[in-house]
Every structure is written in structure tokens, then in C-alpha cells.
Amino acid sequence: TQLLEQSPQFLSIQEGENLTVYCNSSSVFSSLQWYRQEPGEGPVLLVTVVTGGEVKKLKRLTFQFGDARKDSSLHITAAQPGDTGLYLCAGATSGTYKYIFGTGTRLKVLA
Amino acid sequence: NAGVTQTPKFRVLKTGQSMTLLCAQDMNHEYMYWYRQDPGMGLRLIHYSVGEGTTAKGEVPDGYNVSRLKKQNFLLGLESAAPSQTSVYFCASRLYGTGRSYEQYFGPGTRLTVT
């Protein structure tokens, strides 16, 4: 069974601080996606990374895919209260249309 | 476009009762998915469909059945509800193909409680 472990599970920080969320697996993925989910809503895609070592930036969010395509990280610079939410990573294996979701990181940014 | 819609939004069932959750998408997507979300466990795939008339099992299919009679609709059925099926259920859809960048579009979820 493929597993995606996310850490930390919970994170509460002050506005303006930096943070990193990790997504790790023993399996190789052909692509990895990051989603953010607000309370009472479905997840919304933030980014997809597909190449080992790839780094993508989305304003204050930086996403990295590990060289071996088994892990990924999400770094947020100068967090804001609007970043509060549940962050989920999801990996796809080659040639499939199914995704394995991580356990999630619940982030709270205090003003 | 409404995107992905789910009905109902909330439901309370007694153990042993049956119900059907409806997912509809207006984006002409081929692939559709049903997930459940439980605290501390992320989303787990129940069943999925790669086209009209086809369905397949995901990670946690036991106790659920699905049907995809029309391309835009994907139904999830619980024949005899159990308390372990208390969860939030999400439907998602995406474009056809094994392309690595395809985004899943999620519905707003159905919160189901089985007492």
C-alpha cells in the first residue's frame, strides 16, 4: 500500500513567520500535487510538480519535488492569516489516473 | 458553469438504512472519483470511473457501490449504513488521460452521520 506521510500534522504560527510542510513516501510518483482546503469546502489545487528536483513558486509559496520523486515540500514565506487551512499533498503513479493523498497539515496563522 | 456539485450537503442515517449520494459535473470530464475524508487520514479513494458505464474500486470500496450511467453523473450508494461510514464524502472529476498535470476538481462535500 502506498502511503504519503505529511508533517507536521498541526502548525500554529504568528503572522509573518516562515514555515515548511513536508510530504514523504517510500514510493516514486510521476507527479505530485498540493491542495489547500478551507473548512466546509473541497480541496483546491495549488500546484503540480512533475520533474525530480523541480521548484515552483506561487507568490509566497515555494514547492519542491525531491530528486528521487518520493518527497515534496511546501514553504510559505511571511505567512498571513489568509494562508490558514488544511494542506494536502497527492501523488500519482506513472500511467494511472488515481491519486494517493497525504494525511494533511492543518495550518493556523494568527494575526 | 457550476463545476462539481453534490447532493445532499448533510444527511443523518440510522444503522442499516440506505442512501445514494449524487455527484454532477458540467465540465465534460471523463474521470470521476468518490473519496471519503476522516480526521487525520487525508482523503481515501472509494471508487472511481474512467468513463460512462465503467467503474472501478479504490482503496476503501467495501460497503459502497457506484454507478455512472451518464457521463456527467456519478452516484455513490450505501446499501446498509454502518457507523464506520460516518465521514465527509467528496466527489471529484478531471480530464481524460494519464497526463501528469491534470487537476482534480472537487465538489463541496456531503457530511454523513450514521447513528
How many CB atoms lie under 10 A from the CB of residue A31?
21
The tens digit of pLDDT for each residue in A20-78 reads 999 999 999 988 999 999 988 999 999 999 899 999 999 999 999 999 999 999 999 99
Q: What is the DSSP letter of A82?
A: G
Q: What is the pLDDT at residue B100?
A: 57
Q: What is the pLDDT at residue A98?
A: 85
Q: What is the pLDDT at residue A34?
A: 96
Q: What is the pLDDT at residue A110?
A: 97
Instruction: Using an 8 Å CB-CB cutoff, list residues of chain B that contact chain A.
Output: 4, 31, 33, 35, 40-45, 48, 50, 58-59, 90, 92, 94, 97-98, 100-104, 106-109
Closest by Cβ to A98, choosing from B40, B42, B48: B48
Q: What is the DSSP letter of B102?
A: P
Q: What is the pLDDT at residue B2?
A: 80
C-alpha–C-alpha distance, residues B33 and A92, integer Å: 14
Are B35 and A45 within 8 A, CB to CB?
Answer: no
B94 to chain A: nearest residue by CA?
A97
CA distances from B43 to A96, B21, B47, B55, B94 (A): 17, 17, 12, 19, 16
The tens digit of pLDDT for each residue in B64-114 reads 999 999 999 999 999 999 999 999 999 999 987 665 567 899 999 999 999
Longest CA–CA span in chain B (Å) reads 42
Q: What is the pLDDT at residue B95?
A: 86
The tens digit of pLDDT for each residue in B17-60 reads 999 999 999 999 999 999 999 987 789 999 999 999 999 999 99
Closest by Cβ to B42, choosing from A40, A44, A101: A101
> Helix, strand, or coil here: B14?
coil
Cβ contacts (< 8 Å) between B109 and chain A: which residues? 40-42
> Helix, strand, or coil here: B89?
strand
Q: What is the DSSP letter of B20?
A: E
Q: What is the pLDDT at residue B53?
A: 94
Chain B CB within 8 Å of residue A93 CB: no
Contact in structure between A23 and A35 (CB atoms under 8 Å): no
Are B42 and A95 within 8 A, CB to CB?
Answer: no
- Locus of grid cell 476538481: B105
C-alpha–C-alpha distance, residues B71 and B53, integer Å: 8
> Helix, strand, or coil here: B83?
helix
Contact in structure between B16 and B80 (CB atoms under 8 Å): yes
Chain B CB within 8 Å of residue A38 CB: no
C-alpha–C-alpha distance, residues B90 and B4, integer Å: 10
**B75 CB contacts (<8 Å, ≥6 apart)?**
B20, B21, B22, B23, B66, B67, B68, B69
User: Which cell goes with A34?
Assistant: 498540493
